[in-house]
Structures are given as C-alpha cells and as structure tokens.
C-alpha cells in the first residue's frame, strides 16, 4: 500500500473511439502508459487512476471538438493543467480522456490602463508575472505551485497574498468556457462591475472542471507597490503567534502577507532551502505601500507581536532576500517531505473565522502531537486558513488510517466553528465526505441540479466535488 485507495470504475470506450481521436490529433493523442500515468497521478494521497487516453489541445476549436465527441459518446473528460492538485481533482475515476491544456499558453491581451489581462488557460502565474515585468503591474495570486491560471480558476485558488488581494474568486473578471456539449460561452465582459444576468463567472470559478472547460481567463492586475518590506518574528509557542495574527487583522492593519510556520516546518525549510531561521514557531510578514505606510504598518505589527511575546523582527530588506524567503515558504510542502525520507504525504487544509483560528490550530496541534508520524503546520493565517502535512510510511496502512481519522476530526472541528472543509485546496475526492455537513442536503441538491443541467451525461470530471446521494453513500 502506498497511498489511499479509491475504486476506479472506468466506463468502456465505444469501438473506434480512440482511433477517431488519433486520426484527428495525430501525435497529440497518446495511449502510452507513461503519458497516461503522468496524467493519472497528482500530489494527493490517492493511488494513481489512469485515463484511457491523453489529448493535447492547442485551440478552442479542438477543445470544442473533444467536448462534442465525448458528449455524443458519454465518455468521461477531465481538463488537465499543471497537475499540481492536492485533493485528487485530476484522477480518472471513470477512465476516459485527460484533456491537457498546457499548450494553450498564450497571453492574449494586457490592458494596463484597465488593470486586466486575458490569457489562455495554460498560462502559469509565473509566466504571466514575467510578462508583466515592464508594465509596473503584477498578478498577486500565488499558490505554492506554478499552477496554470485555468486550474487556479477552476479550484478557486489563493495563496500568501490573499489576506490583502483576495483569492481567484475576487480576481477573475471573466471566463471563456467550453460546455459539456461543445458550446463556447463568455461569462462576462471586462467592466469592473455588472448587474446583468446570473453571475456565470463565479459559477465556474471553483467548479473543479465539473461544469465546463475553462479555456480563457481575464484577471485583475495591481500596481507594483512603491515600497515592499518583509520581516520574520519568532515566538516561543504556537498560540502566541496565532493570537498575534488575530489582533493584527482585527486592528485592520493592511498587511500584504502574514504566514505561519510551526517548528517542524521551519526545521524542514532550513534543511531544504539552506536557510538559518530560528527553529520555533514564526510569522512571516510582508508590507506593501508607500515608504511611510510600510513603516507605519511594520511599527504597529511589531508592537502587537511584542505584546504576545514575539521577538524583534528580522528584516529581509533586499529583493533577493525577500524572494529567497518567499520561495522557501512556497517550497514548504517539498521541504516537509524531506523530514521523513521515503514518506508519502497526506495534506489537508481548513479555513475558519479569524476569531476561532487560535483555538482550531491549537486543538489540531495537540492532536497531532499524539500521532505516530511527524507533521508540519503552515498557514495563510491572515485569512484563517492553515494546512497540515502528515508524513506517512507508505508501507504502513495503520498510519494512513490514523491520518484520515485526524483529517476527519480537523474538518469537523472547522465546520463546527462555522468554517469550511477546504480554504484553497478544493474538494476533489478527499473532501467529498464533508460536503453534506458543510452545505446541507438542500444545498447539495441545488448543486446537483446545476450539474445535471450543464452536464446531463456527467462526462466532465465525473465523480468529483459532489458526494454520492445519501442513499448510495
């Protein structure tokens, strides 16, 4: 046993189905096991589930052709971006086609005067920001992986900047989407606001490929701040660090980033990224604005952290030092894996109201301290979101069972605090079991009705997001 197992029930493909794909796409259609294996595994704790065939699309017309073909033959169709999912979004639980959109990677328009950019779904966040380097603008949403913008929209991603700039929900202005039956719709225009019609944009943002295939994304851009400053503050215990964040947010101080790392995460980061951070719970801050406002923010935050026993700030004032620090934070997942060589990870996240954050993190850490395996906790704690990385022996089924029990208690704790089962990872397979507790049966019925209306043959990423009906569970 090397991961959690989920039953794969592949639908049989119609006779001649793959041959027709190969005729249409030639060498951009593959049934090679290595290619299918690459598209049938992500960073989730699940065993691989391979698609029957992988198709690489380069144009919207090609996506339309595949959607119509799968719709006509009732074949499963899974959009694929960068493959960085943590919750099993990409796994082919019913076989079918993995539609790789990574080749649709052109930046179509940058409207600097309107602070917007329109990109194809395969453009990654780093690629977009590199292209914006000389415009004085940037795109702030930064999940740890160099994810595609289409995938980020589909999973409603966020990251370290969310406390100030929001998530993909706030920063996607419009989408171009191919529906299950091959229609192409634009969900909105580039106007900053609209009262026209249903909000189709935000119906597809976070839909995890189950309602349509996102092929273009129009996002908000922001001016590069005049001044940027980053600092680290260490604490003797976890509770003091988290309570500092709560007070900072409640005081309305507009920090751009505030990240938490527990002692294990700091130790892993030092080893992986060759840093020399003090190995105790810490907060990592970044301040944006004018030089005067940055100074004022930093002074206010430092006063609050001192009141909670925080040590004096260690500053990262040069851009290269800040970049190294934030790159190390983004690599915390891979750093954690090095704490237990040969391990596999089960990673989970929740988000709670900021007033309940210290309690939720503290109770979670107390439980994890009794676990039979090592763990780390990191978090975008400025918006109540934190992540747990459980490092498991791939040959020890008892550890996997224990980790799932801990995950269940963590999620139930968050929901009881009027939080959510996932702040940014998404539902995929791993969080389906908690959807009923969070949304209620009536809420799930409405979601299922929307799914049935837009995808009557259930071909788009089937088996994801919504749990099976209660009678079948």
CATH fold of 107-223, please?
Answer: 3.30.465
Query: Which tokens sit at 141?
Result: 């949403």
For residues 48 and 242, what is the distance between their CA atoms, to the nearest angstrom?
37
CA angle at 148 for the pair 128 and 178, rounded to the nearest 5°: 110
For residue 2, what pLDDT band results from cuts at 50, 70 and 90? low
Residues 221, 35: Cα–Cα separation, whole Å: 35
pLDDT in tens, 11-66: 889 999 999 999 999 999 999 999 999 999 988 888 899 999 999 999 999 999 99
Whether the full predicted model's pTM is greater than 0.85, yes or no, is yes
Burial 158-167 (b: 16+ CB within 10 A, else e): bbbbbbbbeb
Rounded Cα distance between 135 and 132, Å, is 5
* DSSP assignment of 336-386: HHTTSTT-EEEEEEEE--GGGHHHHHHHHHHHHTTSSS-EEEEEEGGGTEE
Q: What is the pLDDT of residues 450-464, one digit of tens each?
A: 999 999 999 999 999
Phi, psi for residue 177 in degrees, rounded to 5: -130, 135
Query: What is the sign of the dihedral through the CA atoms of 157, 103, 175 and 130?
Result: positive
Q: How far apart are CA 421 and CA 220, in angstroms?
A: 27
Top-tier CATH class for 225-430: alpha beta
Taking only the tens place, the pLDDT of each residue in 231-246 is 999 999 999 999 999 9
Give me the residue spans of the domains in the chain.
107-223, 225-430
pLDDT digits (tens, 9 = 90+) for 320-376: 989 888 888 889 999 999 999 999 999 999 999 999 999 999 999 999 999 999 999
Q: Does position 473 have pLDDT exceeding 70, yes or no?
A: no
CA-CA-CA-CA torsion sign (185, 215, 211, 460): positive
């Amino acid at each position: 046993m090397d991961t959690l197992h989920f039953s794969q029930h592949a639908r049989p493909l119609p006779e001649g189905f793959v041959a027709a794909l190969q005729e249409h796409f030639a060498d951009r259609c593959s049934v090679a096991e290595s290619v299918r294996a690459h598209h049938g595994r992500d960073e989730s704790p699940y065993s691989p589930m391979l698609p029957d065939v992988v198709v690489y699309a380069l144009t919207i017309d090609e996506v339309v052709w595949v959607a119509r073909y799968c719709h006509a033959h009732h074949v499963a169709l899974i959009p694929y971006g960068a493959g960085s999912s943590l919750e099993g979004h990409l796994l082919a639980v019913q076989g079918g086609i993995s539609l790789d959109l990574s080749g649709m990677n052109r930046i179509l328009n940058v409207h600097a005067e309107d602070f917007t950019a329109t990109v194809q779904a395969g453009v990654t966040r780093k690629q977009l920001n590199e292209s914006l380097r000389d415009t004085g603008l940037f795109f702030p949403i930064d999940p740890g992986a160099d994810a595609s913008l289409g995938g980020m929209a589909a999973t409603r991603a966020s990251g370290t900047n969310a406390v100030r700039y929001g998530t993909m929900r706030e920063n996607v202005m419009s989408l171009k989407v191919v529906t299950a039956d091959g229609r192409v719709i634009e969900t909105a225009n580039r106007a900053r606001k609209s009262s026209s019609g249903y909000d189709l944009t935000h119906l597809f943002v976070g839909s995890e490929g189950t309602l349509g295939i996102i092929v273009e994304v129009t996002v908000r851009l922001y001016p590069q701040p005049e001044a940027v400053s980053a600092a680290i503050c260490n604490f003797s215990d976890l509770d003091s660090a988290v309570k500092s964040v709560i007070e900072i947010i409640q005081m309305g101080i507009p920090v751009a980033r505030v990240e938490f790392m527990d002692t294990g995460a700091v130790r892993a980061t030092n080893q992986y990224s060759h840093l020399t951070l003090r190995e105790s719970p810490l907060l990592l801050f970044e301040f944006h604005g004018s030089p005067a406002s940055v100074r004022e923010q930093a002074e206010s935050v430092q006063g609050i952290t001192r009141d909670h026993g925080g040590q004096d700030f260690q500053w990262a004032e040069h851009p290269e030092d800040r970049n190294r620090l934030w790159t190390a934070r983004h690599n915390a997942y891979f750093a954690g894996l090095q704490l237990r060589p040969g391990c596999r990870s089960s990673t989970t996240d929740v988000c709670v109201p900021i007033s309940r954050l210290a309690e939720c993190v503290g109770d979670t850490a107390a439980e994890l301290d009794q676990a039979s395996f090592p763990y780390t906790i990191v978090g975008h704690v400025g918006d109540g979101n934190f992540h747990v990385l459980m490092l498991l022996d791939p040959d020890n089924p008892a550890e996997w069972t224990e980790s799932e029990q801990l995950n269940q208690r963590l999620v139930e704790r968050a929901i009881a605090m009027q939080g959510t089962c996932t702040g940014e990872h998404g539902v995929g397979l791993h969080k389906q079991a908690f959807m009923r507790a969070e949304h209620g049966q009536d809420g799930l019925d409405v979601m299922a009705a929307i799914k049935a209306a837009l995808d009557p043959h259930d071909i788009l990423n089937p088996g994801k997001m919504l749990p099976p009906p209660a009678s079948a569970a």
